[in-house]
Structure 1
Amino acid sequence: MLEVHNVSRSFAERLVLDDVNFTVPRGALTGFVGANGAGKTTTMRIIMGLLKASSGTVSLDGKPLEGDTRPHFGYMPEERGLYPKQPIIDQLVYLGQLHSLSRSEARRRAMELLARFGLDDRAKSKLESLSLGNQQRVQVAAALLHEPEVLILDEPFSGLDPIAVDSMSSILRDYASRGVPVLFSSHQLDLLDVLVDHLVIIQDGRILANASAEDLRASQATRHKLSLGADAGWLRDEPGVEVIDISGSRALVNFQTETDSQRVLREALSLGTVTEFAIHRPALADIYREIIK
């Protein structure tokens, strides 16, 4: 497990991270979400040793991270660092050799990753000849080349088309299944429900949530979805019912008690057709919006 303990960081007089604590479990994909300027990139740079924390520590499996540990990390920064006028395969092989791979092994792994991203036929192309989305895929391949023991990815899905998102998701899921702690940031909230096992929410340099996706869902008040054969506006006047949203014949509500829910169901049936009456499973994107309010 990767753990961030009581990490704070200031730039001049400005406190950017304020006593940040969270975990990145093994075997799970951990999403790191927050608005621009919330502190995600600064936190990732501290994990990677690129910035020094003003206070606090980062540990892996209970041991503080040292300089000889981080070379086994895979890191993709938000600011891309590959050379636009160099052939892709030459750059990947060079980076693999920097991680102590032989030239032949680096080339083999590079071609495997490029093939997985559908770019093996572009291996000898210059990076600048690729679309921005494909350049992003190459950048991710560079982070994965040396089979890292920890993955830290800053906005890996930025600029990717849906097919590339699927490829990226599959690769990250593979690494998590091997027990690799995977931390990635993203502004694409629609990805949370389909990809994230563990969620860390940061706002203004403070951690607002650090929990599994299921625990976060369970922490929310139980809501019910109703789809009726007529307008659902009458629910606003029902005792024991908190209306979250009503749109025509559809409603999202909280019931104070189970008795209230059964009474409302009977009332709805007496008024006409009920096509849906079910517990609403909240989306992680909606939970995120609730938490940061």
Structure 2
Amino acid sequence: MQPKRIAVIGAGLMGHGIAQAFAGAGLAVSIHDADPARRAGVPGRIRESLEQLGADPAAADRVTPADTLAAAVADADVVIEAVPEDLELKKRVFAEIEAAARPSALLASNTSVIPITQIMAGLAHRRRAMGTHWWNPPHQIPLVEVVQAEGTGDAEIEAMMALLAGIGKKPVHVRRDVPGFIGNRLQHAMWREAIALVQAGVCDAATVDEVVKESFGRRLSVLGPLENADLVGTDLTLMVHRYVLHDLDRTPGPLPLLEDLVAAGRLGMKTGGGFRDWTEAEAQAVRTRLADHLCRFDVHDT
């Protein structure tokens, strides 16, 4: 199958970026969102983003908002769900998608953490259902985790991997459907230890961030953790682990510091404070720094 038409369900931060990635590669995209204003605004948001990236804004013309989910998916070769991270909501959406989509269409969820098998449990034809975990911003970050759930067919996984590679993404095959897949398990393992260090009074939040950014963080985009272990030697890695692993945080649930911040309404930059206090100018500076960093990469390589 050579997919020609993509449907995206959900037009929020991730949904419109996924639509942009496909449209930028020349594919026609239909997109639906339950919010009429958000749905209607997608082409304009994509056009603005393309202009900021120095890409052809005409790609936005290949994205068509659909008034209903059924209309969005009716002619699609591939349907990607990008609604909020709510298991019951996703299950309801996929029931609608399966009822309206073509029998040959590939179906995928963009969840970042919920096991795909749980989301697709109610489907009658699970062979074509899988996860495609894109990273934010999806039109700039190359990686997409393609998650094989219980019942997902090998040929369907291969077709999705080929489609994503064909639009310039770097798909990886997640062979076991575990919560958080690969990337978020790694990311949040580090976040848990970072929070634990602050909670234990070892340092403040700003120091944690500085340590990461000015040390191993500088290597991460060119040297993965197991490459690094081989570089320094597995013998040295083993020695370090024998000293430090027993002392790392093993709390099975969220740490009290994080629970307390949320309970106090300290939700991060959007409320002016989380682990650190943020003025609007400081928060905007962080967003700009991230955008500028990502824009250093050729948009056609993502």
Instruction: Output the TM-score relative to the length of structure 1.
Output: 0.29
Task: Name the structure with the higher strand share.
Answer: 1
Q: Considering Cα pairs closer than 8 Å and 6+ residues apart, tell me whether 1 or 2 has the greater RCO.
A: 1
Task: Name the structure with the higher helix share.
Answer: 2
The structure whose Rg is larger is: 1
